[in-house]
Chain A
Amino acid sequence: MASAALAHAPAHKHHTSTGLDSTKIAIWTFIGSECFFFASLISTYLIYKGRSLVGPFPHDPWTNPATGEVMKPILNIPVTSFSAFVLLMSSLTMVLAHSAVVRGDRKYSKIWLLSTIVLGATFLGMQAFEFTSFVHEGLGLTTNLFGSSFFVLTGFHGAHVAAGVLWLITLLFIDMKRGLGPRDAINVDVSALYWHFVDVVWIAIFALVYLIK
């Protein structure tokens, strides 16, 4: 009886005095600390919003001092909306990957993990495109207050997405090598929680930085 129970128990489950898994307590504590991190970056952006003395500006036209040409607002809402859609869909594929691992469905765990990686990489590619086009239009990290706070906020978010993609690649590698099953569900669950947190941070950034003028 006891051996049967042990056979079904997750292989590396570390319980605490709360009776809960220590890995999940750790990731939720980490996510809680990340709330402070991103709140500080978002508040910095909002405080500096509208205080740039020179362009480019996010939502208003600006005059290029070198050419005297009137330039368009720099934010590209259609591209960013598509990025937001891609990241939201990656959250769907991530929960499906976790669900497949819990069921022990090795085929679909690979398919959904790979889909999440592709969607995450697409988001990063679109962010790289956005950053490159901004630099070409004259907005750098030190151009004005908008540039500094915008690149630091969205850059740190992009770094978190990149870390998430690397994490998922390692999980996919393990899945291909030996297969992820119900005993690995906690590991996939923890990576999924991180991934969804990165998604909710983007929901906040998309609304506060891109949409609100």
Chain B
Amino acid sequence: MEHHGQLDADDQTHVGWKTYRWVALILLVLTIIEVWAYYLPGFPATRWFVPMILILGTIKFAIVVMFYMHLKYDFRLFRALFVGPLTVAIAILISLLFLFGKLAIHVTG
């Protein structure tokens, strides 16, 4: 049901079994890649491992929120109610990590 270019939250049957199946498959593949990377000899010690795990986790997080929680199709207010606090929470988390020396900025020269 279209309403101001967005879909009625009570009528979400437009996202069907096919989409849900694809989303589940993508989530499964991404999880397998994460675990495979963890067991790849020597790879967890490289500088690429942490960014890779963070990116894969972020993609999985975004896919669930967009398709299973319907935020891609839902009203903007709901998006704001979730993305707003999530952004502030992540900013606080990163600030705390800086504050307690877990993320260091190395100034040289």
Taking Cβ atoms with an 8 Å cutoff, the residues of A that contact B are 10, 13, 18, 20-21, 24-25, 28-29, 31-33, 35-36, 38-40, 42-43, 46-47, 49, 77, 81, 84-85, 88-89, 91-92, 94-96, 98-99, 102-103, 185-186, 189, 192-193, 196-197, 199-200, 203-204, 206-208, 211-213
Interfacial chain A residues near B44, Cβ < 8 Å: 213
Q: A24-B9, A46-B102 are in contact. Are A204 and B61 (CB under 8 A)?
A: yes
Q: A85-B28, A207-B53, A211-B53 are in contact. Are A96 and B17 (CB under 8 A)?
A: yes
**When the two chains form their complex, are residues B10 and A81 in contact, meaning their CB atoms are under 8 A apart?**
no
**When the two chains form their complex, are residues B53 and A35 in contact, meaning their CB atoms are under 8 A apart?**
no
**When the two chains form their complex, are residues A98 and B31 in contact, meaning their CB atoms are under 8 A apart?**
no
Q: Report Cα–Cα, A29/B84, bound state, in Å.
A: 10
Shortest CB-to-CB span from A3 to chain B, Å, is 20
Q: Report Cα–Cα, A81/B33, bound state, in Å.
A: 11
Of the candidates A35, A102, A204, which one forms a contact with B13 in the assembled complex, judged by CB atoms under 8 Å apart? A102
Of the candidates A25, A39, A185, which one forms a contact with B92 in the assembled complex, judged by CB atoms under 8 Å apart? A39
Of the candidates B27, B56, B84, which one forms a contact with A32 in the assembled complex, judged by CB atoms under 8 Å apart? B84
Q: Report Cα–Cα, A194/B50, bound state, in Å.
A: 28
Shortest CB-to-CB span from B70 to chain A, Å, is 8
Of the candidates A28, A39, A95, which one forms a contact with B81 in the assembled complex, judged by CB atoms under 8 Å apart? A28
Interfacial chain B residues near A185, Cβ < 8 Å: 10
**When the two chains form their complex, are residues A189 and B53 in contact, meaning their CB atoms are under 8 A apart?**
no
| Closest chain A residue, CB of each to CB of B85 | A32
**When the two chains form their complex, are residues A24 and B102 in contact, meaning their CB atoms are under 8 A apart?**
no
| Closest chain A residue, CB of each to CB of B79 | A28
Interfacial chain A residues near B16, Cβ < 8 Å: 99
12 residue pairs from A and B, CB less than 8 Å apart: A13-B10, A21-B10, A35-B89, A39-B93, A40-B92, A85-B28, A91-B24, A91-B27, A189-B12, A192-B68, A212-B50, A213-B45
Q: Report Cα–Cα, A196/B15, bound state, in Å.
A: 16
Interfacial chain A residues near B93, Cβ < 8 Å: 39, 42-43, 46
Q: Report Cα–Cα, A28/B75, bound state, in Å.
A: 11
Q: Report Cα–Cα, A28/B71, bound state, in Å.
A: 10
Mask of B6-50 contacts with A, CB within 8 angstroms, 1/0: 000111110111001101100110010011011100001100011
Of the candidates B10, B38, B50, B82, which one forms a contact with A77 in the assembled complex, judged by CB atoms under 8 Å apart? B38
Q: Is B60 an interface residue (CB 8 A)?
A: yes
**When the two chains form their complex, are residues B77 and A98 in contact, meaning their CB atoms are under 8 A apart?**
no
Given A85-B31, A92-B68, A185-B10, 6 more pairs with CB closer than 8 A: A20-B77, A25-B77, A39-B92, A91-B68, A196-B69, A203-B57
Of the candidates B21, B35, B53, B85, which one forms a contact with A36 in the assembled complex, judged by CB atoms under 8 Å apart? B85
**When the two chains form their complex, are residues A103 and B13 in contact, meaning their CB atoms are under 8 A apart?**
yes
**When the two chains form their complex, are residues B85 and A35 in contact, meaning their CB atoms are under 8 A apart?**
yes
Interfacial chain A residues near B81, Cβ < 8 Å: 25, 28-29, 31-32
Of the candidates B28, B35, B60, which one forms a contact with A203 in the assembled complex, judged by CB atoms under 8 Å apart? B60
